[in-house]
Structure 1
Amino acid sequence: MIRHVSLLTFAEGTTDAQVRAIGDALATLPDRIPELRAYAFGPDLAIDAGNATFAVVADVATVDDYVAYRDNPEHQRVIAELIRPVVVARTAVQYEIET
């Protein structure tokens, strides 16, 4: 099993409505991308200073499934239309997990 973790930092001035729109759009992806085994995301709780402002965690069975998720047109649309306009930093990692 492969786990993908993406941490996003949004620009100052990003509105709650923009963050909600991102979450609403991401929530549609599990029904549209059959390769997703588990999918979780949400804004940082702002408990610690310096954190990213949003996290996305996706579990898939194989590297090919990750590539299918990564390149899925609906996923790419969400990134292009909703995330890219407000993100100032992104970091990600993919790693194997035991099932």
Structure 2
Amino acid sequence: MVRHIVLLRWTETATEQQKQDAEKAFHSLPEKVSQIQKLVCGADLALTPGAHDFAAVLDFASADDWRAYQAHEAHKAMIAEYLAPILAERSVIQFDV
């Protein structure tokens, strides 16, 4: 199984509504992208200074499924509509579980 972890930092001008909309968009992905086996995500709890603002953890059966997700139109649309307008920084990692 491949685990994909995404850490995001929002722009200073990102509104609470935009942040909530981005989280809802992430939550809607499994119903649109069949390759996603599991998705959990949420806003940072602000327990550690300097942490990212948001994290998403997605599981896939294989690297090919992860690649299909990356190329999927629903994933691309979510990035363009909800993330790109408020994204300041992004970090990702994929590893075998």
Q: Give the aligned partner of residue 69 of structure 1.
A: 69
Q: Give the aligned partner of residue 59 of structure 1.
A: 59
Q: Map 1:1-99; keep pairs closer than 5 Å.
A: 1-97=1-97
C-alpha distance in 2 between matches for 1:7 and 1:81: 18
| Deviation readout 1:45-85 (Å, 9 max, x if unpaired) | 11111000000110001010001111110111110111011
- Aligned length, in residue pairs: 97
- Cα offset, 1:87, TM superposition: 0.8
C-alpha distance in 1 between matches for 2:49 and 2:30: 31
C-alpha distance in 1 between matches for 2:23 and 2:89: 18
Query: Percent identical across equivalent pairs?
Result: 33
Gaps of 5+ in 1: none
C-alpha distance in 2 between matches for 1:40 and 1:70: 17
Q: TM-score, normalised by structure 2?
A: 0.96
C-alpha distance in 2 between matches for 1:44 and 1:70: 24
The DSSP-based 3-state class of the residue aligned with 2:23 is helix
Q: TM-score, normalised by structure 1?
A: 0.94
| Deviation readout 1:16-69 (Å, 9 max, x if unpaired) | 100110111111111111111110111101111100000011000101000111
